[in-house]
C-alpha cells in the first residue's frame, strides 16, 4: 500500500485551492497543482497530458469563474471555465479511472425555498454564474460515476477577493455601511472546506464504496444575513478601525447588482454529516481564525 495519496488539483491559487495546498501534508496527501502556464483547464490535450503524466489517485477541481456579476457579461467565459472544463476533467478521469471531487455552489438554486436546500431539490439558477455551475454539475454526472460534487456557499478566506476583505477595506473608508439584510446563508471559511475535502479524499480512496458517490452540501454550522456577517467581522476585529462603522441593514432591492442573488442560500448538510462526518464548526469560529490571519496591509 502506498504511503501517501497523490491529489491533482485545479485552482491552486484560489481561496479553497490555497488552503488545500497549505493543509494537505497533515493528511499525508501530496498535492500536484499545475500553474496556468502548464495547463489550461479548457484545453483538453493539456489536461489529458497532465493526468497521463501524473496519474493521481484523485482529482480535486476547485477552479471556477466565480465573479458572479462579471459572469452576466461574460457568459462564454463562465461556461468555458465552469462547464466545459468540468466536462474535460470528467472525461479524462473516466478514461484513467480516477475519482473526481468537484466544487459547486448554492447559486444552482433560486433561493425561494423557505427551508434549507437538500441535495435532492430541483436546481433553478437565476444568473449566468449559477447556470454555468449547474451545467458543469450535469456534465460530470453524465460522464463519471466516481464523483463527489460538493456544493458550498458564502466562501471567504484571508486571501483573495471576498466579503470579509471587502468589509475590512470599506470599514476604514466609511463611517456608515449599508449592508443587505434579507439574504440568508452560512459564511464558510475556505480552510474548513479544504479540511472537509481532504477528509473525504481519504475516506473514498480507502473504501471506494460506490454508495459514496454523488452530490453533497457542505457549509459552516449556523446562518446569518450579510448584515449579521458584517457586524460579526467588526465585533471581532474592533482594533482594525479607529471607530467601528455603523452598519445599516437594507433590502436587496436597495443594493442592485448585475446578477440577482438567491435570498436563501442555506444548504442542508445532514447527508454529508451522516456519510462522511467531515469537520464542521460554527461560522463564527471560522471567521475568528481568518481575522487572526489578516494583518495590516
CA 238 – CA 156 distance, rounded (Å): 19
Active site residues per annotation: 129
Q: Is the pLDDT of residue 208 over 80?
A: no
pLDDT tens digits, residue range 60-84? 999 999 999 999 999 999 999 999 9
State which residues form the domain around 115. 5-162+187-221+267-281
pLDDT band for position 238 (50/70/90)? confident
Sequence-ordered alpha helix ranges (H) in the chain? 15-23, 44-54, 68-71, 75-79, 85-96, 128-143, 163-173, 190-207, 226-236, 270-275, 283-293
Residues 164 and 224: beta-carbon distance below 8 Å: no
Residue 236 lies in a domain: no
Residue 45 lies in a domain: yes
pLDDT band for position 8 (50/70/90)? very high
Residue 227 lies in a domain: no
CATH of the domain at 55: 3.40.50.720
Residue 96 lies in a domain: yes
Q: Is the pLDDT of residue 210 over 70?
A: no
Angle of CA points 130, 165, 251, to nearest 5°: 55
Look up cell 497523490; give the residue.
6
Tally of CA atoms within 13 A in the half-sphere of 90 that contains its CB: 23
Residue 215 lies in a domain: yes
Residue 12 lies in a domain: yes
8-state DSSP, 221: B
Residue 167 lies in a domain: no
Tally of CA atoms within 13 A in the half-sphere of 62 that contains its CB: 28
CA 234 – CA 70 distance, rounded (Å): 28
pLDDT band for position 135 (50/70/90)? very high
Residue 55 lies in a domain: yes
- Spell out the residues 6+ positions from residue 146 whose beta carbon is closer than 8 angstroms to its own: 93, 97, 98, 99, 100, 213
Average pLDDT on 185-206 reads 97
CA 162 – CA 91 distance, rounded (Å): 32
Query: What pLDDT score does 296 carry?
Result: 54
CA 203 to chain centroid, in Å, comes to: 20
Q: DSSP letter string over 222-277?
A: S-EEHHHHHHHHHHHTGGGSSSPPEEEEE-GGGS--SSPPPSB--B--HHHHHHT-
8-state DSSP, 23: H
Residues 143 and 2: beta-carbon distance below 8 Å: no
- How many domains in the chain? 1
CA 297 – CA 238 distance, rounded (Å): 16
Amino acid at each position: 500500500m502506498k504511503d501517501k495519496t497523490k491529489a491533482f488539483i485545479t485552482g491552486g491559487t484560489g481561496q479553497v485551492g490555497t488552503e488545500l495546498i497549505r493543509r494537505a501534508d497533515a493528511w499525508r496527501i501530496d498535492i500536484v497543482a499545475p500553474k496556468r502556464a502548464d495547463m489550461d483547464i479548457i484545453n483538453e490535450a493539456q489536461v489529458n497530458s497532465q493526468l497521463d503524466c501524473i496519474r493521481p489517485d484523485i482529482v480535486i477541481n476547485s477552479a471556477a469563474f466565480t465573479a458572479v456579476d462579471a459572469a452576466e457579461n461574460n457568459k462564454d467565459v463562465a461556461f468555458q471555465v465552469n462547464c466545459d472544463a468540468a466536462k474535460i476533467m470528467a472525461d479524462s478521469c473516466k478514461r484513467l479511472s480516477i475519482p473526481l471531487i468537484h466544487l459547486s455552489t448554492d447559486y444552482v438554486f433560486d433561493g425561494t425555498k423557505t427551508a434549507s436546500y437538500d441535495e435532492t431539490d430541483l436546481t433553478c439558477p437565476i444568473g449566468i454564474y449559477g447556470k454555468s455551475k449547474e451545467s458543469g454539475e450535469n456534465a460530470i454526472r453524465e460522464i463519471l460515476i466516481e464523483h463527489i460534487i460538493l456544493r458550498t456557499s458564502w466562501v471567504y478566506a484571508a486571501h483573495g477577493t471576498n466579503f470579509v476583505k471587502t468589509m475590512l477595506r470599506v470599514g476604514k473608508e466609511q463611517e456608515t455601511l449599508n449592508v443587505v439584510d434579507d439574504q440568508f446563508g452560512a459564511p464558510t471559511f475556505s480552510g474548513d472546506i479544504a479540511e472537509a475535502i481532504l477528509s473525504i479524499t481519504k475516506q473514498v480512496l480507502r473504501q471506494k464504496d460506490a454508495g459514496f458517490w454523488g452530490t453533497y452540501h457542505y457549509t459552516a454550522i449556523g446562518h446569518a444575513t450579510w448584515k449579521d456577517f458584517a457586524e460579526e467581522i467588526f465585533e471581532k476585529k474592533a482594533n482594525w478601525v479607529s471607530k467601528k462603522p455603523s452598519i445599516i441593514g437594507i433590502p436587496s432591492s436597495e443594493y442592485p447588482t448585475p446578477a440577482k442573488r438567491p435570498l436563501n442560500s442555506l444548504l442542508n448538510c445532514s447527508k454529508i454529516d451522516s456519510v462522511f462526518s467531515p469537520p464542521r464548526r460554527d461560522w463564527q469560529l471560522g471567521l475568528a481564525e481568518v481575522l487572526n490571519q489578516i494583518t495590516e496591509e
